[in-house]
Chains A and B, each alone.
Chain A
Amino acid sequence: ETGVTQTPRHLVMGMTNKKSLKCEQHLGHNAMYWYKQSAKKPLELMFVYNFKEQTENNSVPSRFSPECPNSSHLFLHLHTLQPEDSALYLCASSPRRVPYEQYFGPGTRLTVT
């Protein structure tokens, strides 16, 4: 397996469910990111992790909870989501040095019913 992988690729969940998205990178990078991509909106950065430490939380609601157990894995735990949270969630990784070019995974298409 190479690059950045994400599972699941598609997820449908009710507003009371709890689910997790998983991201794994095989590029030897030390920085990982979660983005939200909604229809007709720019990519929105949610969280940034460097060497497993969260360095950025872009005012994301607490119903999204990230976890980074090591430099290769990133999770996004979801609970009590709202229908407006339906979107494509993209994970990315980058080397931890300027200019931080980012490599994206295929994304998880999330639908909240």
Chain B
Amino acid sequence: QQPVQSPQAVILREGEDAVINCSSSKALYSVHWYRQKHGEAPVFLMILLKGGEQKGHEKISASFNEKKQQSSLYLTASQLSYSGTYFCGTPANAGGTSYGKLTFGQGTILTVHP
């Protein structure tokens, strides 16, 4: 079952902050975040692992609440380059041993204006 992202779209001015949420109906082992600019491939941003380990981006942070089965992506002091669609992906099973089988959320469209 796919995770649910909120909001569906966000419009910001440069320098403003945004939070994108990803919620799952099942226990999570990890949450993956990707960004896709229009006409381009999705780009890996970061992964949050059960137990708190985080791997990823230098200017974007995220949290992972295992009990609530959700993750939030924090974009602070947004730049024009942050515009794009953000996807979260969750493994098919809680153990994470699903050989990379991810189920993706529907995406959140982020637009940053000057």
Residues of B with Cβ closer than 8 Å to A? 2, 29-30, 32, 34, 40-44, 47, 49, 55, 87, 89, 91, 96-97, 99-107
Chain B neighbourhood of A105, CB < 8 A: 41
User: A99, B104: Cβ atoms under 8 Å?
Assistant: no
Chain A neighbourhood of B96, CB < 8 A: 98-99
Check A34 for interface membership: any CB of B closer than 8 A: no
User: B100, A100: Cβ atoms under 8 Å?
Assistant: yes
Interface residues of A in 1-45 (CB under 8 A from B): 4, 31, 33, 41-43, 45
- Interface of chain B, main secondary structure: strand
A68 to chain B, nearest CB (A): 13
Check A101 for interface membership: any CB of B closer than 8 A: yes
User: B100, A94: Cβ atoms under 8 Å?
Assistant: yes
Size band of the interface chain A makes with B: 20 to 34
B9 to chain A, nearest CB (A): 12
A96 to B104, CA, bound (A): 19
Given A98-B96, A98-B97, check contact A45 B43 (CB 8 Å): no
Residue of A whose beta carbon sits closest to that of B107 = A42
A59 to chain B, nearest CB (A): 13
Determine which residue in A42, A50, A55 has the highest number of CB atoms from chain B within 10 A of its CB, and name it. A42
Check A104 for interface membership: any CB of B closer than 8 A: yes
A32 to chain B, nearest CB (A): 9
Chain A neighbourhood of B87, CB < 8 A: 42-43
User: B106, A42: Cβ atoms under 8 Å?
Assistant: yes
Additional A-B contact list (11), CB under 8 Å, known A33-B100, A43-B42, A100-B102: A4-B41, A31-B99, A42-B87, A45-B103, A48-B99, A48-B100, A56-B99, A94-B100, A99-B47, A100-B91, A106-B41
Residue of A whose beta carbon sits closest to that of B48 = A99
Given A99-B47, A99-B49, A101-B47, check contact A50 B42 (CB 8 Å): no
